[in-house]
Amino acid sequence: MPLSLSVSGMATCAALYAIGSYLTAYIPSPWGVGQFRPAVVVPAFFAVVFGPLPAGMGAALGTLIADSAKYGYLYPGSFLAAVPGNFIGFYLFGLITRRFSWGRFILASNVTLTVANFIVAVLYVMVFKILYLGDPKYIAFSSQALLVFIFGLTIWWFVTMLPFVLLVTPFLIRVTSYAIPSLVSPDIRGQTLRQELPMGLLSLAFLVPGALMLVIGLSVAYSALGAEMTRYFTGATAMLIQWMFLLSGAILSCIGLALKIGQITKKVSKI
């Protein structure tokens, strides 16, 4: 890909990601921090079409612009946590899908959202809140509470981003392959136009994390884990966290089951 096209791709990715992220920047997680961000479809799309570096740089710049616009100044929390996490995550997405197939795309979606969100959560809590700000609330947390907080943020971001990446991004890639074929490499164009998404693998990509969320939610509700959480978080927050796990697990599981049923129905109709 020519350098000029890579640079324009990076700039476009950053601009679209910043706008999309800012639109939902005021919808927080049950933890009170962390944003609802379906705009991750933007760097996921650019990672496939333009490659690792434009997507990684575009995601890093876009999240910095969105967070800074929200707070009204160059937000250090974004610079210290979201920027490196987004860069590493979507650079990795581009690397995995460099030799494109729908199976690699599904793999990249799960790996990227897990790795990137975990990096952001760790850096936000440990570096920004504790080392940079010296926030007494977080300093007072035990190591167990910090782990719960970090993994809770990671899981919330993952389950709220995964459906958008897996269901919206393939549509964008296909439309681009039809509308602007010169922009898409022959490898990607051939895969996207001739092969369908592997529905069995796609359904598993929803069912596995969905079942895991349900198990965690039930554990929070009916085991000592829930009592442990109330030691560090208010009753309302603990209740929201419990419902976050249960509802997100149910939603992901329902999407996975619907895809599986659709796959079985399609096979039966061909008999």
Number of domains in the chain: 2
Indicate which CATH number applies to the domain containing 63: 1.10.1760.20
- Residue where a domain terminates, one of 196, 217, 249: 196
pTM, rounded to two decimals: 0.88
Q: Which residues of the chain have pLDDT under 50?
A: none
CA angle 47, 50, 55 (to 5 degrees): 45
Q: 112 near 93, Cβ under 8 Å?
A: yes
Per-residue model confidence as pLDDT tens digits over 67-80: 999 999 999 999 99
The verdict on 111 and 133 lying in the same domain is yes
Strands (E), 36-159: none
What pLDDT, on the 0 to 100 scale, is given for residue 224? 64
What pLDDT, on the 0 to 100 scale, is given for residue 57? 97
Distance of CA 110 to the CA centre of its chain: 8
- Residue where a domain terminates, one of 148, 163, 196: 196
The verdict on 53 and 183 lying in the same domain is yes
The verdict on 178 and 250 lying in the same domain is no
- Residue where a domain terminates, one of 152, 180, 196: 196
For residue 95, what are the domain limits? 3-196
- Name the helix (H) or strand (E) containing 86: helix 83-96
